[in-house]
Every structure is written in structure tokens, then in C-alpha cells.
Structure 1
Amino acid sequence: MDVADLKMFEAVVRLGTMKRAAEELNTVQSNVTARIKALEDDLGIPLFQRHARGASATQAGQRMLPFAGRIIKLMADARAAAMDDGEPNGPLQIGSLETTTALRLAPLLSRFTAAYPEVQLTVTTGTTARLVTEVLEYKLDGAFVVGPVNHPDLHRRMVFKEELVLVTPISIGTPKELKLNGRLKTIVFRAGCSYRQRLENFLACMGIANAKPLELGSLDAIIACVEAGVGVSLLPRGVVASAVKVGRVSAHTLPAEQADAETIFIRRKDAYSSNAMRAFLELYQPAQKEEGLVMSAWTIA
């Protein structure tokens, strides 16, 4: 068993077929098939169930997958640490909520890419649940998510606070009017979005438990659907401020316990903090101070 075998194993589990794994790894399918068979022979147990659609991990394969990911990441960190001299360089994979990307990250990303052109920065958007999982699985170096997030393997730092507002069509004068709508829809991101869960809890407290979710993939689409009267949403005030100003939608203030949301930056405790990551965190801190936001001190291992 070596790192190359584990990379092939992880790719087959993730992609579901030997062919797709071979394409991603820039090799031939017969090589992947042979290496996976050799790995199974070495362990003395099948790692995949072969079928017409491809290959699915057995229970043994599923148990092995997290260890394969950790070993692959550890080897990548070792290589990065050995070569991590001088100016920040190399890949840096950051995750973020779409709302955070739209509202907060653009100035930072502009400053960072200008200051450190040798860093290959990638920003992936997703829900809090998905981003937490991808940080834990070493797929992301860090991510901006909505707290609280409590996991023993994660560093957590609050970076700023948001005020969430109920976003409705302008025809809705107060949130109480929603109880009169027998076919209320919530316009939300997919399952795992913390704002979606808060909206469902808010409506439940109002006695509205039958609202049907409409899942969309972008902020612009959500705001447009609310404007068209399709349903309601829950978003940071800053995200909808321009739409409210021109009268496209209404934003309703919520009680503090429902409106206050903390955005935190998470990363694994055992992951190597490269010069690129250090530069990213150090550049971000003064940017937030300029906005007068409360910051916790970064801990950089």
C-alpha cells in the first residue's frame, strides 16, 4: 500500500467508476483496476462492489476512506512544508457561504490576489453543513461558515456578526400577515444551510409549520423569486440592502435572538498552516478592523 494506491482508492470511491478515476488521475483504466485489485489482495478484503454502473465502496472501504484522506493530506502537507519558503505560494482552497462571498470577501480577495500573485487561491461556495464536512475531510484548507460549530478537530474564530432579516415581497406589511397565506413557500438554499434552518424555526414559532421550500442555488435567484411574490427568505441585511432601497423586496427586523448570526472561520487543528494560509489570515484581520468589527485573535499553528 502506498500513497498512489490510496489516491486511486479515494478517486474511485468519490467518482463511482474506475474509468472516471483514471481520467481524473491521467492514467488508463486498466492501471486503476490493477492497483485497486492489488490493494484488495494486500488487505485480504474487498474494498468495492463492482456492478454495471461502476463500483461502490464496501463497508470495509467506507471505514478505510477517512484514513486514506488523512494520509493523502498528510503527505501533501509534508511536501508543502518542505517547499514552503519565501513568499506565499502554492494552492490555497477556501470555502465560504455565498452570502459571505457576496457581502464580505470581494475586497479581501482583490487585495490578497494582488499582494500574493503566486498563490493559487480557490474559493468554493456551499452551505455551512457541506463546508464543515469538506474542511473535516481535508478538501478545504478553511471555510467561512455560520456558527455555532462545535467539533474537537476544528479551530474556530468569530470574524464578524450579521443581522438576519425576514425578506418578503413588498406587499407584506408585517410578518404576522404570513399566517394568512395557506400556501407559503420559503425560498432557500439547499439542505444544510443554517439560514434555512433559522427561517424554519422562526416560522414554526409563529405557528407556520407547512411552508414548502423552494431550493435555489444563488442569491440573485432567491431575491428575484421573493420579489416576484413566490415566497419569503431569511438573509443578512447587507445582502438585500440594495434591493430594499429600490423597493424590490421588504426586510423585516427580527428579535435579537433570531436575528444575530456569527460568521466564523474554521480549519482543522492538525492541518499544516502554510505561508499562504498565514498571509490570508493576517491580511483579513486588518481588513475587518477597518470596518470596526469585533475580531478574535487568530491562532495560527
Structure 2
Amino acid sequence: MDLKNVNAFIHVAETNSFTRAAERLEYAQSTITAQIQTLEAELGAELFIRRGKRISLSVAGQMFLPYAYQFQALHQDVHAQFSRDTELSGEYRIGILESISIASYMDRFAQFMREYPKVNLMVTIDTTLHLLQRLRNGELSMVWLIDRPVNAADIRVVHESSVPIVFFCAPSHPFATSSPVPIEQLSEVPWILAEKGTNYRWQLEQDLAARHQYIRARIEIGSTSNIIDFVAKNLGVSLLPSYTLKQAIDAGRIVPFQIKGYDMHMQSQFLVFRKRWIPEAIAKLMSYF
């Protein structure tokens, strides 16, 4: 199986377009078409459903995509191990949460990219559930979560550390000067919250429900920066991982507060699929954190 044909398939699958795939790879569109036809003939299956100018993955294409990612990653890792060029290179796919993408952790990604200029990172931002699914499917080599501990037989935790979850409010909010706040008062104020099911929100709601308490979301939104902005405008209180709040706290836009007899931590976890190797480039990247 020719790697160039597999790469062409991946790009067409990601863009849903032969034209955009050709632009990405700097090939003629006819070349991409021929590569896909060769691959389909080799596999004995139609990989795309073609409806005029619109295409989508067929069932066979959906089944083949995880194998294509693994084939690509294995080729890159073998090349890195045996090539005379000792510099790491290749294209690698990882997944992270939205809250990680806006934090100072990105500086370490930048440092890695400066030191390994031939490594290209394809970073997917998604929810815990979807990232784990894509890791299992072979679409991602590594996933970085801030969540409750992941205990799954097919997932290996390469590195983990504790991350405090911080409650915060505007400087003018009553909680700013009455910390620690009695836990009973949490249900008396509006909240600015991430989407329902987000790990730390879920944990808080479960803990409060055990006390027959409930909080009211004034707004639910999937953007960490927007949550901070709404809280800074005194529209409600919220909770987020500590690493997302340093800049806003240092600027005096928000104030952390404590809850009497209650705190929360999540685990920062680098996860890989247990049955797959860890590409050297991914291992190097994880060492930066």
C-alpha cells in the first residue's frame, strides 16, 4: 500500500473535497483522483460517496480512516528510527480541551515547535467524550484531559498531576469579601457555567445534589474566555481550572473565593491507546509538560 495514496485519502476525508486536498498537498486534482481510485481498487471498496461535486466518506471509508492514521503514524515513526536524518519530523495528531488551548501551556507547544521545526502538529479541540472516542479510533496519537481519573482497560495514562478547580467572582461581588463562603449560599446566586456535563460542573452539581442543593445557570457557554468575561462583569460566579485564571486574577478582573469545607481538584492526564506505540515526537512533546 502506497503511503502517498493513504495520505491523499486522509486529506480528502478531512476536507470532504478532492480540490481542497489537492491544494493542501500541492498536487493536481487529477493526481488525487487517481490516487484514491488506486487505493479503492487495492482495498476492493468504494471509500467515498460521490453526489455530483459533493463527497462524503462511505461506510468502508469510515472504517478505513483509523487504519490510515495508524499507517501514516507508523511510517513516520519507522522513518524516524532508521533515517540518517536524526531530526524528528512528520505530522502528528493530538487532542486537547478548549480550556487548555487558551492557557499558558501553549507557550510550551511553541517551544517544542521551535526546537523541532520539521514536526507538524494537528491539534483537535473537543470534549472529553469525543477526544477519547477519536483516540480509540486511531485518529489521535495522544489526548490531554483535565478531568476525573480515566480508568479504562484500553487507555494508558502516561502522566498525571493534580489541578485545582478555582471558584471566582467579580471584585465587587459579595463573595469577594466574605470568603470562605458557606456552601449553602451557592444556590442563592446566578452562575456562569460551561456546558452541562463538563467535568468540574458535573462534579459540583453532583456534590450539591447530595446536599439537596441546586445552582442556577444564568448562561451556559463553551468558551472559557467568555465565562471569565461574564464573571468579570459581575453577571454571576463560576468555577474553572486554576491554569485558565492566572492572567485575569493578576489583572484584578476577577477574585478567587473559597467555600467553607469544600474544594475540588481534577487530574491533568496525558492518555494514549494501550495497544499502540507512542511516536517519538509525541513522547518528546509530553516531556515539555
Check whether TM > 0.5: yes
CA–CA separation in structure 1 for the residues paired with 2:273 and 2:239: 29
CA distance 1:191–1:3, change in 2 (3 Å): farther
2:230 counterpart letter in structure 1: C
2:67 counterpart letter in structure 1: F
2:33 counterpart letter in structure 1: T
- Per the alignment, residue 215 of structure 1 pairs with 221
- Per the alignment, residue 15 of structure 1 pairs with 15
Given candidates 225, 232, 236, the residue that maps to 1:227 is: 232
- Per the alignment, residue 67 of structure 1 pairs with 67
Confirm whether residue 252 of structure 1 aligns to residue 258 of structure 2.
yes
- Residue 159 of structure 1 contacts residue 264 of structure 1 at CA under 8 Å; is this kept in 2? yes
Confirm whether residue 261 of structure 1 aligns to residue 263 of structure 2.
no
Per-residue deviation, 1:259? 0.7
Q: Give secondary structure in 2 for the equivalent of 1:27.
A: coil
Q: Give secondary structure in 1 for the equivalent of 2:23.
A: helix
CA distance 1:47–1:111, change in 2 (3 Å): closer
CA distance 1:228–1:102, change in 2 (3 Å): same
- Per the alignment, residue 287 of structure 1 pairs with none
> Structure 1 regions of 5+ residues with no counterpart?
285-301
Q: Give secondary structure in 2 for the equivalent of 1:211.
A: strand
Identity of aligned residues (%): 25
Per-residue deviation, 1:264? 1.5
Confirm whether residue 179 of structure 1 aligns to residue 187 of structure 2.
yes
- Residue 200 of structure 2 contacts residue 266 of structure 2 at CA under 8 Å; is this kept in 1? no
User: TM (normalized to structure 2)?
Assistant: 0.72
- Per the alignment, residue 290 of structure 1 pairs with none
2:193 counterpart letter in structure 1: I
CA distance 1:105–1:121, change in 2 (3 Å): farther
CA distance 1:141–1:192, change in 2 (3 Å): farther
1:34 counterpart letter in structure 2: A
Per-residue deviation, 1:167? 2.9
Per-residue deviation, 1:156? 0.5
Q: How does 1:30-179 map to 2 (within 5 A)?
A: 30-52=30-52, 54-83=54-83, 86=86, 89-91=88-90, 95-97=95-97, 99-100=99-100, 105=105, 116=115, 120=119, 122=121, 124=123, 126=125, 127-138=127-138, 140-146=140-146, 147-169=148-170, 170-171=172-173, 173=175, 174=181, 176-179=184-187
1:264 counterpart letter in structure 2: Q
Per-residue deviation, 1:161? 0.7
- Residue 270 of structure 2 contacts residue 286 of structure 2 at CA under 8 Å; is this kept in 1? no
> Structure 2 regions of 5+ residues with no counterpart?
176-180
